[in-house]
Amino acid sequence: MPPALASVLDLPADHPFPRQNLPYGVFRPTPHAAPRVGVAVGAGVLDLAVLEAAGFFAHPALEAARPFRAPTLNAFMALTPEAWDAARTTLLDLVRPGSPLDRAASLWEAAYHLRSDVTLCLPATVGDYTDFYASREHATNVGTLFRGPERALQPNWLHLPVGYHGRASSVVVSGTPIRRPRGQVLVDDAPAFRPSERLDYELEMGVFVGGGNALGAPVPVETAHRHVFGFVLLNDWSARDVQRWEYVPLGPFLGKNFATTISPWVVPAAALAPCRVPGPHQDPAPLPYLAAHEPRGLDVHLEVVLRPAGSTGEVVLSRSNARHLYWSPEQMIAHHTVGGCNLRPGDLLGTGTISAPEGVGSLLEQTENGRRPLSLLDGTTRTFLADGDEVILRGWGQGPGYRVGLGEARGRILPAP
């Protein structure tokens, strides 16, 4: 018997999944059950396929598409913002004491599952994955390490959101183990094939694209917000030694394509509306197709936690905030499509590593490319990740009296094969 709705909503102010959040995900209620769409609330997950079958989603587009009985969020992402808003309005009305769901004990029992009893899945089929480089602090830190402070930023960086096409097939859900990759690295001025010795994490947020655009039809920056379905945490794991040898002249390849971890819950853009803030001042002013006038930033607190190999304790390695991102998701979408590229529902955009004045988003920066090892509480040190280490990303935005949690994106490092 699940707990009563009133007790589900009796949450402390810092709980990540209050009624005001309602992030979407995909789960299996039992190990062999078909995946279905749900929302996280309290310590549980609400089965939207059950609520859909009961006739609660009356919006015409929702009734026609019946997206919640699908095994991914793609069908729901393909609808309009008006349909997304209608579904959210219905859920906000249902998840309250005294609602029709609260009064229907048998329906509540069928629809509500404790998260500890279910299996969380990748929330969407990712058709394409693009990773940007949108943090000025990160780009400056990395550029300084390799080119010196005078040439830290490349000449194009302040004029456009720099990005590259990643590998969608290796996007995995939080909790998936990460196998240390092998690749070519430069050793004593000659290439060698071996496991990466400079395995790193990248603290990012991911943006799931909702309704796409037609081939050849750019998305104007003023309407790009209509294409933002929601947000996840994202760790674009990086083999720095492999990347350093291979990335000239075409950019990352094996150093990045072995794994990208995302959190299982997609926080809708509407839930993070209270966290919208003005973005950093952009100087020089962007070209007109990138010039956005509304608040561009998201005040989302982020942290990186390490659970060292063989330990049950956690060490906070860094804290950061997405409000410092120089380029916004809307600007990323406008730039991505300005040449005619068509985005599709379920496409994933990474912000790139989010570093900030309060903390950096990678070991590359924190250890100055391995020159300054970190001392951990157990007496060990790290320049880069060791086998058995588990990295956990966490994040949340602050609403008026409640938190909007993004959950966790975690992965433990396994030895190279």
Which residues does the annotation mark as catalytic?
Answer: 138
Answer yes or no: are the C-beta atoms of 9 and 20 closer than 8 Å. Answer: no
3-state secondary structure 211-243: CCCCCCCCCCHHHHHHHEEEEEEEECCEEHHHH
State the Cα–Cα distance between residues 278 and 400, nearest whole angstrom. 18
Pairing of strands 203-209, 228-235: antiparallel
Per-residue DSSP letter, 109: H
- Give me the DSSP letters along 35-65: PEEEEEETTEEEEHHHHHHTT----HHHHHH
State the Cα–Cα distance between residues 133 and 353, nearest whole angstrom. 7
State the Cα–Cα distance between residues 409 and 205, nearest whole angstrom. 10
SS3 of 220, please? coil
Per-residue DSSP letter, 28: E
What is the H or E stretch that residue 331 is in? helix 329-337
Among 90, 129, 113, smallest CA distance to 35 is for 113
Residue linked to tokens 């157990």: 378
Among 217, 204, 168, 211, smallest CA distance to 336 is for 217
Per-residue DSSP letter, 142: H
State the Cα–Cα distance between residues 411 and 393, nearest whole angstrom. 9
State the Cα–Cα distance between residues 391 and 181, nearest whole angstrom. 16
